[in-house]
Chains A and B, each alone.
Chain A
């Protein structure tokens, strides 16, 4: 398991959260995804054999949001 933290740019509406979280759960290998509205961060637990932080970042970008930085940590 890996813990992925993406710092996002430009989350202004609470409905963005649902959009992003929904998209994350559609990626196989994502165990748990949570968007922190006030901190503009996405925190997810992933199975590194199935997906990667980059795949998550790509999905976020596709929705029209920017990813400022990305961090991965073994759990």
Chain B
């Protein structure tokens, strides 16, 4: 298809011929001007006509067909200059559109090209060999040096390094990875060196799934967009019919072909999809994955947000809040070590908090096995030492001083009948939880509810502390779904924020299901939105993005409809010709694209951009590592 491939060269040639023709028409007598204009029309018109034909063969009446008929009509009635101007402007507009549309897709393009194409693989012989990523298989071992981006998901076998996961989570904080940790494709080693065992390759990787999801989402039709698409399907033939009727009734061929040009539905068709492409792409870069443009408009109507459990609002990890000691300072270190040693053998959830506390205080944890006796519902004993709740202390006849009450879980340590220490252990509320909740209220979410499987007391405590309207405890997943249904029956628009593992029914039941913080389970079908990090302010950013996207679609439709109205008015009062009508049309299309591109600048908290993958640098760092 020579003509299709060179349509922009034809556009330039046609444009030059048209310009010369217009000049000749003005200053030279004779047919030379008209001939040049006809040449210009044919040059620029050929690709348009071919496109119209191709579409017609699959039974689609395209905009190109309207333009082609209009231009042929213009030539027949001798409006050579109008025909030439229209064909040139149409192609020129097409060129500008393709350039600016490429920009709207840049976000996903950046994602797709971020991964390196080769990586250092450890061979059976023990040497590192540059290997194409496509040749990697699950189970292979690869080496990532400073500056390299992981092209696959893997499990750290050795080495240590700081890893920037911002492409996946949108979070700028770097994480230290050591043996046993997981590294996801798309994350970059910023310092250090890691040896990975390959767990997932290609489309199965977290990063591959993100790209897949975003691509699907950008093409998913929002109700507004699909309405317009259907509308355009009938609108274009309708314009053809109207032009025909007007032409037959008024016997004014000029008016009829002008209507054909003005009827092009350009800006209207592109308005909503272009917003979704830019908005979804921008979100993906910040770790907000929307499954389609319609999600944005539903999110914008949300007035009630339900959190699935305490873990969404708390750290999900118990830690020691305070300690009261009843022994001398020099003995405490030793006790911490012994407590940790005992807890390492028991599997109690509160025990981990004690172990972490001991490690944080550099206590030496003895490796000797203790003879443990577990007393269900109370704690454990090891010889004369007892670790457990107040009930255990009473059973052991421990002398208890009077101590202040606490809402935290309390763990007592005793040696014989002597109390050693009391630990207050809680699951702390996430940083910024209170602020994020307050901000959500300002963003129009009036009702904030937590439905927890935790005890009602623990739920109520957290609810009061963060400022929720309601916090219920002791609920099963099915209870949560029923609760959401009840809210919806009252006319509420409900968003459900869950970790996405066992709350799929609730995610699906809610108007918008938001899977948060499970981090890597991208293929979540039940969720409408997947947040790649579990920072609560991410929810605020999500709502901001949704609001801006919805406003943007409205603006674009206003521009498009306004343009058509203006053109009609201009036609009625006789101001608009074919050429100027086409110009206004093209300008309106570029306007809606430019408007959509504004979404790219939604403020993200991403502090810095990732450094591009630099192989020469990676090489150097690698050598350095090996010489160590």
Taking Cβ atoms with an 8 Å cutoff, the residues of A that contact B are: 5, 12-15, 18-19, 22, 36-39, 41, 64, 71, 73
Contacts and interface: CB of A to CB of B under 8 A. Distances in A.
A19 B58 CA distance: 6
Contact of A12 (B57, B98, B203, B269): B98
A41 B253 CA distance: 43
Nearest to A20: B58
* B: contact size bracket: 20 to 34
B487 to A, nearest CB: 35
Contacts of B4: 64
B62 interface: yes
Given A12-B98, A64-B4, A22 B219 contact: no
Nearest to B109: A39
Given A38-B277, A39-B108, A64-B1, A22 B218 contact: no
A15 B108 contact: no
A15 B218 contact: no
Contact of A73 (B1, B57, B62, B203): B203
A73 B212 CA distance: 14
Given A12-B98, A15-B60, A15-B62, A38 B54 contact: no
Interface string B354-392: 000000000000000000000000000000000000000
Contact of B216 (A36, A64, A71): A36
B430 interface: no
B105 A38 contact: yes
B58 A38 contact: no
B58 A15 contact: yes
A1 to B, nearest CB: 15
A18 B54 CA distance: 11
B215 A38 contact: yes
Given A64-B1, A64-B4, A15 B55 contact: yes
B179 to A, nearest CB: 31
B298 interface: no
Which 3 pairs show the lowest CB-CB distances between chains A and B?
A: A39-B215, A15-B55, A38-B218
B215 A22 contact: no
B396 interface: no
A39 B98 contact: no
Contacts of A19: 54-55, 57-58
B60 A37 contact: no
Nearest to B52: A15
Contacts of A39: 105, 108, 215, 218-219
Interface of B: 1, 4, 51, 54-55, 57-58, 60, 62, 94, 98, 105, 108, 202-203, 215-216, 218-219, 269, 277
Given A19-B54, A64-B1, 19 more contacts: A5-B203, A15-B54, A15-B55, A15-B60, A15-B62, A19-B57, A22-B58, A36-B216, A36-B218, A38-B215, A38-B218, A38-B277, A39-B108, A39-B215, A39-B218, A41-B215, A71-B202, A71-B203, A73-B203
Contacts of A36: 215-216, 218-219
Contacts of A38: 105, 108, 215, 218-219, 277
A58 B607 CA distance: 46
A29 B29 CA distance: 65
Contacts of B105: 38-39
18 contacts: A5-B203, A13-B51, A15-B55, A18-B60, A19-B54, A19-B57, A36-B215, A36-B216, A36-B218, A36-B219, A38-B105, A38-B108, A38-B215, A38-B219, A39-B215, A41-B215, A64-B4, A73-B203
Contacts of B60: 15, 18
Nearest to B54: A19
A71 B1 CA distance: 26
B174 to A, nearest CB: 30
A38 B62 CA distance: 19
Contacts of B94: 12
A38 B103 CA distance: 11
The CB with the most chain A CB atoms within 10 A, among B1, B55, B94, is that of B55
Nearest to A22: B58
A22 B58 CA distance: 8
Contacts of B54: 15, 19, 64
A13 B7 CA distance: 14
B428 to A, nearest CB: 42
Contacts of B216: 36
The CB with the most chain B CB atoms within 10 A, among A5, A37, A39, A64, is that of A39
Contacts of A18: 58, 60
Contacts of B62: 13, 15
A41 B215 CA distance: 9
Nearest to A13: B51
Nearest to A40: B105
A54 to B, nearest CB: 18
A19 B202 CA distance: 29
Contacts of B1: 64
Contacts of A15: 54-55, 58, 60, 62
B218 to A, nearest CB: 4
A49 B203 CA distance: 23
Contacts of A13: 51, 55, 62
Nearest to A34: B219
Nearest to A17: B219
Contacts of A73: 202-203
A24 B441 CA distance: 50
The CB with the most chain A CB atoms within 10 A, among B105, B108, B215, B277, is that of B215
A18 B58 CA distance: 7
A26 to B, nearest CB: 12
